[in-house]
Amino acid sequence: MNVWIAIGLTVVGCYLTKLLGLLVPAGVLERPLVQRMAALLPVALLAALTAQQTFADGRYLALDARAAGLAAAALALVLRAPFLVVVGAGVAVTAGVRALT
């Protein structure tokens, strides 16, 4: 029964969060600071998720094949490669380093 209570509370919390977003006055959303934050927040969250998934192994810092793949993808981005080339470089380097270890 505790699982259903947790599910119900999660549903109510998600609904209230969405409702709270709809109740924000339009004047607040038109402020330049809010617009800049709304534009940059997804990028920051994606960067944090990428860093956590690349360098974390449970509770420990891990520098392994994932870090090498990320470095290769970053290099491809610096060289202005197309998106598929960036992903392919990351995958290929990660697979290569894993094959060598």
Planar angle of CA 10, 11, 16, nearest 5 degrees: 95
- At residue 58, the pLDDT reads 81
Is-contact 65 51, C-beta < 8 A? no
- At residue 32, the pLDDT reads 94
State the helix-helix crossing angle for 83-100 and 65-78, rounded to 10 degrees: 150
- At residue 1, the pLDDT reads 65
What are 11-36's pLDDT values in tens digits? 999 999 999 989 999 899 899 999 99
Tokens standing for residue 26 = 């339009």
- At residue 31, the pLDDT reads 93
- At residue 89, the pLDDT reads 97
**DSSP E strand boundaries for the chain:** 56-57, 60-61
Is-contact 94 66, C-beta < 8 A? yes
Planar angle of CA 75, 52, 61, nearest 5 degrees: 95
Alpha-carbon dihedral sign for residues 39, 44, 50, 52: negative
What are 56-90's pLDDT values in tens digits? 888 888 888 999 999 999 999 999 999 999 999 99
- At residue 80, the pLDDT reads 96
